[in-house]
Amino acid sequence: MAELHPQITVLAPLLGTWTGSGSGEYPTIDAFTYLEEVTFGHVGKPFLSYSQRTRSEAGQPMHAETGYLRAPAPGRAELVLAHPTGITEIQEGTLTDDGSSILLELTATTIGLTSTAKDVTALTRSIRVTGDELTYTVGMGAVGQPLQHHLSATLRRKDA
């Protein structure tokens, strides 16, 4: 494997495959639970690759997204994602490393929608890694609803 680019060494705690479960809610849908697998990888360039897949507890595919995570400057992070539902997002925000965990606090600066995509107007993500545990929350404003909590999950590093 290629050596980690020096610009993203602060993101090293994210590397690997993470699995676990989460739950979601939104005023326009029934609450739900899901199983998830997330992988962060690298090829020696100044970004991490990101792949995410969820499925129902019965094993049915639910959601997927793919993209890239960058740390362009100290304390800053950028996440670029594509969803198969016709949505793209660019999120920017802060990256904090307190020595025992890293925390990304991101807000969408751009949301792209195909003509058939759900009307999404706001997205936020908070991702924390402490050792072999990754937790996150996602906020969403969509289909006429204001920005609010949508998803949360706890994942464990696979083969840890």
CB of 131 closer than 8 Å to CB of 155: no
| 99 belongs to a structural domain | yes
Full residue range of the structural domain in which residue 80 is found: 6-157
Let me know if residue 58 belongs to a domain. Answer: yes
When pLDDT is cut at 50, 70 and 90, the band that residue 103 belongs to is: very high
Please check if 158 is assigned to a binding site.
Answer: no
**Residue at 141 is within a domain:** yes
* CB neighbour list of residue 40: distance below 8 Å, 6 or more residues apart: 11, 14, 15, 16, 18, 48, 49, 50, 69
Please report whether residue 47 resides in a domain. yes
Note the pTM of the prediction, 2 decimals.
0.95
> How far is Cα 61 from Cα 23, in angstroms, rounded to an integer?
15
For the domain that residue 85 is a member of, what is the CATH number? 2.40.128.20
Decide: 105 and 138 in contact? Cβ < 8 Å.
no
| 108 occurs within a structural domain | yes
Q: Is 63 annotated as a binding residue?
A: no
Query: Is residue 1 one of the residues assigned to a domain?
Result: no
Task: Give me the number of domains the chain comprises.
Answer: 1
Average pLDDT over residues 126-134: 97
In a domain, 40, yes or no: yes
pLDDT for 2 = 85
Instruction: Tell whether 14 is covered by a domain.
Output: yes
Query: If 0-12 CB within 10 Å is exposed, 13-18 middle and 19+ buried, where does residue 54 land?
Result: buried
Tell me whether residue 150 is annotated as binding. Answer: yes
Average pLDDT, the chain: 96
CA distance 132 to 14: 9
